[in-house]
Amino acid sequence: MFHCRLVNPIHHDPALLLSLPQLAQRWLLDCGDLHALSLHELLQIDTVFVSHAHIDHWIGLDALMRAQLFGERPLRILGPRGILDMLAGRLAGYAWNLVSRSQFVVEGYEWTGSQWDSRHFPCSQRFVGHEAPSGLPSLENWSLRWVELEHGVPCLGYRLESPRSYRFREDCPYPPGPWISALKEAVAAGQREGVLTVAGEERRLAELAEWLRPVPTHQLAYITDTRLDPATRSRVVDAFGPTRVLWCEAAFLESQRELAETKLHSTANEAASLARELGCERLQLFHLSRRTQGRAEEHLTEARLIFPETYVGSD
């Protein structure tokens, strides 16, 4: 189970906070102004998914690093092409002569268009970066998909899905015991051969697995700062569909479509159409242009004509 909320009001910097209580972790989708977060919340953030490097999407990195500077677990930053060099430049902009005992490490991951390159920046070495093995970091069995968007600069959308889990049927005749977790782990790994001891008797895995039923996973897609032209929309649908919940920018109203195309942003109508194509259960609009300050209801009304289960912000 997870909970997500916007850090800032809908017309301000994007930053979507995902709280994962079972892992005692928090993840961020984009890293705008983070002053609204408590120190406790900042200390629990260990992964940041950056859509692109415009200042309103990762100005909060400095506050996040300052809070974690002497922490023991790494801070992982994922982003589009160029993010590693930008991260190196950001870290090189400060003096680090009093941090030699810190165990803190910033791990950067960059989608090059064909693979995830990685570079690690140890605080104890004044954040001088060194190449690390390519590939994604472990995401605690969550699955990650990504797609390239159209914003004039390298820009990514993300889709997260929780690990598959199982529940026993109510008519299961077997008593509880340590075999339950062993069975769930085996089934999650696709294993059906072997036996487990249940109430002093050996039972086949395949037999026990018949008493399990899968629990629907949590699926969240995050799309912001993009022109949703046919090519981009097609890429998103192919990469992310189906998805249960879509967080999508709705920078402009339909009457401002020409401005949206010029600025490489999306309208509320386009967000709603995308949610419908993705087979979503729910659409959350955010990152509304300040040109429409105080007019959130208009965004909501336009979107609901196409996709009724639309909400604004963290509602």
Amino acid at 233: R
Domain ranges for the chain, please list them: 3-162+217-312, 165-215
Q: In CATH terms, is domain 3-162+217-312 a member of 3.90.650.10?
A: no
CB atoms within 10 A of CB 115: 11
Sign (positive/negative) of CA torsion 106, 57, 275, 115? negative
Cα–Cα distance measured from residue 41 to residue 205, given in angstroms and rounded to the nearest whole number: 41
CB atoms within 10 A of CB 64: 22
pLDDT at 1: 62
Cα–Cα distance measured from residue 207 to residue 90, given in angstroms and rounded to the nearest whole number: 56
Q: CB of 34 within 8 A of CB of 52?
A: no
pLDDT at 189: 76
Could you report the per-residue pLDDT of 242-295, keeping only the tens digit for each? 999 999 999 999 999 999 999 999 999 999 999 999 999 999 999 999 999 999
Q: pLDDT under 50 in the chain at which residues?
A: none
Could you report the per-residue pLDDT of 9-32, keeping only the tens digit for each? 999 999 999 998 777 889 999 999
pLDDT at 177: 83
